[in-house]
Amino acid sequence: LPLNVKVSEMDKFKIKFDKDVCIGCSACVSVCDNWITDNNKVKLKKTIIPEKELKSNKEAESICPVNAIKIER
């Protein structure tokens, strides 16, 4: 465990969403409520998520046909 990382941060995950790559198919929206469609554009509600929301966001990441979603610790 790095000394500069708080334990509370260890159960958080960061979502990187590449809007330029996104084709707006809304596949992510269909599997995860952290993703919404607004004015024909896909939007991410939260970029930092707790571990309990990881599974559905991982589904969104894997269903994206253009790999516009990346999740990391």
Whole-number Å distance between alpha carbons of 62 and 28:
9
| CA-closest candidate to residue 22, choices 68, 73, 72, 71 | 68
Residue 8 reports pLDDT greater than 60: yes
The answer to whether 70 and 61 have CB atoms below 8 angstroms apart is yes
- Residue 18's alpha-carbon distances to 1, 10, 47, 60, in angstroms, are 29, 24, 12, 13
Higher pLDDT, 44 or 10: 44
User: What share of the chain in percent tops pLDDT 90?
Assistant: 81
Q: What single DSSP character describes residue 9?
A: G
Span 29-58, pLDDT tens digits: 999 999 999 998 999 999 999 999 999 999
Q: What is the pTM of this model?
A: 0.85
